Amino acid sequence: MTTAIRSEVALELSAATIGYGGVPAVRDLDLSVRSGEILALLGPNGAGKTTTMLAAVGAIPLLSGSVTALGAPVVEQVERNARRGITLVPDNRGVFHSLSVADNLRVAQRKSGSDAGFVLEYFPKLKGMLRQRCGSLSGGEQQMLALAKAMLPEPRVLLIDELSMGLSPIAVQNILPRLRAVADEQQMAIVLVEQHIDLALSIADSGIVLHHGRAALTGSADRLRRDRDAVESAYFGVEAS
Ligand code: ATP
């Protein structure tokens, strides 16, 4: 049963060219993530990672090519795509600093109708912080709250932009294995933009290195982990000799 679910392609970009004002920022990108899998989207500043994530949730249009999620085209309507189970955790995290942890969860819960219990199982530290104001949480704790909120509607495709923004490697190390558990147990497809390449590849199934808007390297996470030279060359745009 699990194998059948795993084989479903949850998100697919085909020959996607995406840009702003008609100028491409991402060119001819192919990307595919199955339910229960994690794709690490890597690349230096300006490579096109956020642009790709925005197109995947329908926040910006494609110049050419296609984006399909959960068996249907992704239209340019973020709310509608969210209702279909395609959710982006933005790099600013989208938490309300003046509200308590519990109230932040309540807001998301009201929208989704889901019980917060299941998300707190993935981030048990938040259980002891429910009455604390979000603004007093550490960056890592805020990120856990952002992820918990995004998971409440039980999305099938979760896109996480710059998980580690402002976080210590230890905080990232603490959060990433939980995402692996979420993908495995909830059969969520996850696309993870992450600057800590090794940490991201340690929990991912596959990876793409973007450089100047193009896929410079694509492969299984195992292969990319073993071939760090190729990853670094792709990352820095060095031609393979
Ligand atoms: P970072 O790691 O710095 O967030 P990124 O890989 O996410 O970078 P993008 O933000 O997708 O890169 O940017 C890709 C390219 O698109 C860059 O050249 C950027 O200047 C350009 N770009 C991004 N947003 C816009 C916009 N709103 N209008 C015009 N160009 C944009």
Q: Provide the residue count of the chain.
A: 241
**pLDDT tens for residues 149-197?**
999 989 999 999 988 877 888 888 889 999 999 999 999 999 999 988 9
Per the model's pLDDT, the better-predicted residue between 55 and 196 turns out to be: 55
Residue 68 pLDDT greater than 60, yes or no: yes
Q: 81 alpha carbon to ligand 1 midpoint, in Å?
A: 22
Give the residue among 64, 61, 69 at the shortest CA–CA distance from 32: 69
Protein residue with its CA nearest to atom 14 in ligand 1: 48
**pLDDT tens for residues 193-209?**
998 899 999 999 999 99
Specify whether the backbone of 106 is left (phi greater than 0), alpha (psi in -120 to 50) or beta: alpha
pTM for the model: 0.92
Measure the CA–CA gap between 102 and 169, rounded to whole angstroms: 27
Measure the CA–CA gap between 11 and 67, rounded to whole angstroms: 7
Residue 4 pLDDT greater than 60, yes or no: no
Q: 174 alpha carbon to ligand 1 midpoint, in Å?
A: 28
**pLDDT tens for residues 105-150?**
998 887 766 777 889 999 999 999 999 999 999 888 998 999 999 9
Q: Which fold has domain 9-98+155-236?
A: Rossmann fold (3.40.50)
Measure the CA–CA gap between 186 and 119, rounded to whole angstroms: 11
Protein residue with its CA nearest to atom 26 in ligand 1: 20
113 Cβ neighbours under 8 A, 6+ residues apart: none
Testing ligand 1's pocket by substitution, the residue of 17, 18, 42, 51 carrying the most ligand atoms inside 8 A of its CB is: 51
Give the residue among 86, 65, 51, 67 at the shortest CA–CA distance from 210: 51
Chain position carrying tokens 């940490």: 199
Find out whether the beta carbon of 236 lies less than 6 Å from any atom of ligand 1: no
Tell me what the mean pLDDT of segment 216-230 comes to: 96
pLDDT at 122: 92
Give the residue among 56, 25, 61, 55 at the shortest CA–CA distance from 43: 25
Of ligand 1's atoms, which has the minimum distance to the CA of residue 48? 11
Find out whether the beta carbon of 241 lies less than 6 Å from any atom of ligand 1: no
